[in-house]
A = this chain, B = another copy of it.
Amino acid sequence: MELYVQKFGGSSMRDAERVRNVAKIVTKTWDQNKNVVVVVSAQGDTTDDLIAKANELNPKASKREMDVLLSTGEQISISLLAMTIEGMGYPVKSFTGWQAGFLTDSTHSNARIRNINKQRIENELQKRTIVIVAGFQGVNRYDDITTLGRGGSDTSAVALAAVLHADRCQIYTDVDGVYTADPRIVKNAVKLGAISYDEMLELASLGAQVLHNRSVEMAKRYNVDLEVLSSLEKKPGTIIKEDASVEKMIIRGVAKDANVARISLVEVPDQPGIAFKVFSILASKKINVDIILQSIGRDGTKDITFTVAKDHLEETVEVLNANRDKIGHKEVLTDDQVAKVSIVGAGMESNPGVASKMFEALYSANINIQMISTSEIKVSVLIDINDAKRAVVAIHDAFYNN
């Protein structure tokens, strides 16, 4: 029997009407003679409400206790969805992260899945039970509750699909697929029928905001067929799988990421190993660094500039200043009024001139480029945040309108 894993995010579970809609999608899949495992996030604003409650009592609460608090959001969702499906007369059971066997490391608020003890879920599936699992959460080896951080429920869904050898992992969201650019910004953006893991990875990590890159990485590693589709409109979404490069577009899409901040370490000693020192310190604090630019040394010093997610900015600066003795920088400059705009496409490799076409589009739109980063299938530029939307439109026009 085919097995589908279906994931529904917070907006798909927002209120009673939406929960009933999710129940319909799930039971319809079950009616098509498929087994179904459902992964859900916390309802709409629940997480924000819980964070507000915490901030009122202790804005610097430990991550352990925040995880205890926030994990209740998905627990509420699973029980409400299970009840709704019960009311429709289907066999169903809900499971929290620990009940579903999600064992993680101990990095509270940003834990990694170590293992899924799938026995209980498999037992229920053999009885044709619809299994509802709380996304975003697990337990460490001491039975402390952990959460998986941003994109956590997507990751939960893909991990379950991998260990259960599901035939497909469907990620239901409020958009109906992956587009060549954000349709809210670019009117003539085109929905992609299929896209490869690598292309989606670049798009996801670049702020296309459809899927978090952790989940796509995991899907690629375990070869899970993903589908991104709308929970509100009944039409096919975008399939993400290994050999999806059937369409002959040079670039797959233009993405904008505003969750980025630039940090400059000014006048660090121009010695071998200094970059290693900086980035290993940040890695030990689990801070991901993106674009890196190092100036040519001069007077025995050089500058190192890099970008991090905007919500890591404060912590990064704290870490750098706490390690000033080791690094030896004169000062730390920051700018959070920047955005990253990128083009992605596996066709790029065999098409020289893609990057220069992008730069030309930006030049014509009078947009200044602060930093550049390239990979085999991606070109990213860092620009002023106020230019970001114009940049996306200009680049999309350059590639798709001629």
Stretch among A52-60, A152-160, A290-298 lining the B interface:
A52-60
Q: Does the CB pair A68–B53 fall under 8 Å?
A: no
Minimum CB–CB distance for A55 against chain B, Å = 9
Within 51-88 of A, Cβ neighbours of B (below 8 Å) are at 53-54, 56-58, 60-62, 64-66, 68-69, 71-72, 75-76, 78-80, 82-84, 86-87
Interface centre among A20, A50, A84 (most CB of B within 10 A): A84
- A65–B50 CB distance below 8 A: no
Beta-carbon contact of A57 and B72 below 8 Å: no
Residues of B within 8 A of A211 (CB): none
Write out the residue numbers on chain B whose beta carbons fall within 8 Å of the beta carbon of A19: 57
Stretch with Cβ within 8 A of B (4 or more), from A93-101, A329-337, A340-348: A93-101
Closest to A57 in B: B84
Interchain CA distance A207-B103 in the complex, whole Å: 45
Shortest C-beta distance, A50 to chain B (Å), equals 7
A83 pairs with B61, CB closer than 8 A: yes
**A397 CB within 8 Å of chain B:** no
* A interface residue count range (under 10 / 10 to 19 / 20 to 34 / 35 or more): 35 or more
A349: CB under 8 A from chain B? no
Q: Is the CB of B82 within 8 A of A76?
A: no
B58 and A84 contact, CB distance less than 8 A:
yes
A143 on interface, CB distance cutoff 8 Å:
yes
State A60–B88 Cα separation when bound (angstroms): 11
What's the Cα separation between A282 and B361 when bound, in Å?
Answer: 80
Q: Which one of B56, B60, B65, B79 contacts A94 once the chains associate, using CB atoms below 8 Å?
A: B65
Residue of B with least CB distance to A80: B57
| Contact status A79-B66, CB under 8 Å | yes
Q: Is A16 an interface residue (CB 8 A)?
A: yes
Q: Which residues of chain B are within 8 angstroms of A94 by Cβ–Cβ distance?
A: 65, 68
> How many whole Å from A156's CB to the nearest CB in chain B?
17
Bound: A82/B69 CA distance, A: 10
A83 in contact with B96 (CB, 8 Å):
no
Q: A72-B72, A72-B76, A75-B75 are in contact. Are A65 and B86 (CB under 8 A)?
A: yes
> In the complex where A68-B94, A75-B72 touch, is A80 in contact with B60 (Cβ < 8 A)?
no
Q: Is the CB of A86 within 8 A of B62?
A: yes
Which residues of the other chain, B, contact A62 by a CB distance below 8 angstroms? Answer: 83, 86
CB-based contact B143/A99 at 8 Å: yes
Chain B: minimal CB distance from A116 (Å):
15
Please, which residue of chain B has its CB at the minimum distance from the CB of A92?
B65
| Chain B residues whose C-beta falls within 8 Å of the C-beta of A50 in the assembled complex | 76
**Chain A 199-220 interface 0/1 with B at a Cβ cutoff of 8 Å (1 = within):** 0000000000000000000000
Complex Cα–Cα for A19 and B65 (A):
15
Q: Give min CB distance, A199 to chain B, whole Å.
A: 39
* Chain B, Cβ-Cβ closest to A73: B72
**Could you jot down 7 A-B contacts, CB within 8 Å?**
A16-B53, A53-B80, A58-B83, A58-B84, A68-B82, A69-B75, A69-B83
Which residues of A approach B to under 8 Å, CB–CB?
Answer: 16, 19-20, 50, 53-54, 56-58, 60-62, 64-66, 68-69, 71-72, 75-76, 78-80, 82-84, 86-87, 93-94, 96, 98-99, 120, 143-145
Give 4 new A-B contacts, CB below 8 A, not counting A57-B83, A66-B83, A75-B75: A50-B76, A66-B79, A68-B75, A68-B94
